[in-house]
Amino acid sequence: MRVVIQRVSEASVTIDKEIASSIGHGLLVLLGIEEGDELVDAEWLVGKICRMRIFADGDDKMNLSLADIQGDAIVVSQFTLHALTKKGNRPSFIRAARPEISEPLYESFCSMMEKELGKTIGRGKFGADMKVALVNDGPVTISIDSKSRE
């Protein structure tokens, strides 16, 4: 699994001109699932994301986690995070997991994140054409891959 997390002051997901999810201070998580990913990848990533110290403390140092600040989150499935761009100019998405594998893993990831944070998180809609809006706070943008554990 691969994620891009963005610290945001606000974010929203719009589907068919209706806001499906919106949050204030927290994280927008773009989640890409590839062939071979398993629940253990989701568990590791959820723990890493929720405990990563990327929010400011009273001294304006990045010492607090999403869990510490009781921040909000939106998770959006994004297969394009596994684009292969080595050949030609058209990306290949052959490494992205098929929907019958990725959709249940996406739902499990979201449920695990809700359990870890003790609150409901925002979600996109799997497979939908979504419009994602955000105000990146910092900006802070971090990518993490569960296979390399970095």
Radius of gyration of the chain (CA): 15
Catalytic (active site) residue 80: yes
C-alpha distances in angstroms, 133 versus 8, 10, 21, 32, 39?
10, 8, 10, 18, 28
**Residue (of 20, 142, 146, 137) closest to 69 by Cα position:** 137
Catalytic (active site) residue 85: no
Q: Which of 14, 55, 70, 79 is catalytic?
A: 79
Catalytic (active site) residue 126: no
Q: Which of 14, 55, 70, 80 is catalytic?
A: 80
Cα distance between residue 6 and residue 28, in whole Å: 5
Q: Which of 6, 55, 78, 109 is catalytic?
A: 78
- Catalytically active residues, by annotation: 78-80
